Amino acid sequence: MNIEQIIADSISVKQKILNDKALISQIEKTVEICIDTFRNNGKVLLCGNGGSAADAQHIAAELSGRFNLDREPLFAEALHVNSSFVTAVANDYGYDHVFSRMVKAAGRAGDVLIGISTSGNSANVLNAVREAKALGMKSVAFTGAKGGEIAGVCNVCIKVPSTNTARIQEAHIMIGHILCEAVENTLFARS
């Protein structure tokens, strides 16, 4: 194991993001969508599997709790946090439907769904984005370089320029933090 190389690889992915004006624009669009959603009393729902589920929950906590500022809470929730719901739906309808069913229950036109999938092909995340679209919600995907099938379904796809799952997830949480900081500063910063 070469620790220095792992760190260098992580930095390299972030440097590619920094130098990609189109990718920066996709992040900016995501920030604008979320700000508009919150200004109109909407919700941000997030979903993902494994490490991406942890990232979804992390971002939701930063938005609903606080990031840098002591401020009012925002409605943001990760769709996997009710384990009884997830296991019941997985058992009764199949795991591919755990997120789409919660989107159908909780989502409304004007809300936004952020689906996190390093491959862009996770069936349950893809189905959630499709359900969000049917409800008139906006949808954003955080993926790896290829974008996967989800890239053709969502409103905005943030494709991290890597095919390494760990490096993609590191960038996803950085982008999530950018989103949280920008939302908080726009909606709550005092001049």
pLDDT of the residue at 191: 53
Mean pLDDT on 128-145: 98
Per-residue pLDDT for 112 more than 70? yes
Task: Determine how many CB atoms are found less than 10 A away from the CB of residue 178.
Answer: 16
**pTM across the whole model:** 0.96
Per-residue pLDDT for 185 more than 80? yes
Q: For residue 52, give Cα distances in angstroms to 44, 112, 152, 161, 191.
A: 16, 17, 20, 17, 35
pLDDT of the residue at 176: 98
Per-residue pLDDT for 190 more than 80? no
Per-residue pLDDT for 5 more than 70? yes
The domain ranges of the chain are 29-185
State how far the Cα of 131 lies from the Cα of 101, in Å rounded to an integer. 8
Mean pLDDT on 176-187: 97
Domain spanning 29-185, CATH architecture: 3-Layer(aba) Sandwich (3.40)
Mean pLDDT on 7-33: 97
Q: Are 174 and 14 in contact (CB under 8 A)?
A: yes
Mean per-residue pLDDT of the chain: 97
pLDDT of the residue at 189: 81
Per-residue pLDDT for 146 more than 60? yes
Per-residue pLDDT for 96 more than 70? yes
pLDDT one-digit tens code per residue, 44-88: 999 999 999 999 999 999 999 999 999 999 999 999 999 999 999
